Structure 1
Amino acid sequence: MKIEQFHSNFVQNVYKNSEERKHGYVEGKTVGKSSVEISTEAKALVKRIRESEDSHFSEKVENIRRSIQEGSYSVDPEKIAEKILEKIDEEKGRG
């Protein structure tokens, strides 16, 4: 039947297109290339993070990220205000 043949071709084309998209294939001309440059500051930051003596740093960040996603992360405004005031006092002492 022609309907079955049409259906079969349609399914094969849809499958082919989805597979091409998964692998980044796009039909047509290549217009240009993109490039990404990482600043020396970013590279230095990554190096500092990797060399960090605090081996639990990543674990702490992951715990915070998870609690934010779960909606259980709480912020203590008094603690934040206390730290801000401490920082202001430190800066006044320096100036």
Structure 2
Amino acid sequence: MRINETNRTGMINSYNSAGKSQEAKKGRASMGKDEVNISHEALEMLKQVEEPQSPARREKVSSLKQQVEEGTYKVPSDKLAEKILAFWRKQ
């Protein structure tokens, strides 16, 4: 039984070179134009952010920012759970 045959290395090299040429062809073909799609929901959220906020809303946001900076803000777990359940039920 022969373990080392000299002809096998040539076959391996030709196999490797064929794979590289196919990858190069795929790389050139896949180069295309970049495109970004923004969902309808994201556009709606952007409109809400851009609209002027009421004074009560601004005060609430500044209060929350201050609590977060001081480290005294605690996430209400019941409200968080409601939001998570609503998200998963919607899907």
Class of the TM-score when normalised by the shorter of the 2 chains: 0.3 to 0.5
1 or 2 for the larger relative contact order (CA 8 Å, sep ≥6)? 2
TM-score (norm 1): 0.37
Whose Rg is larger?
2
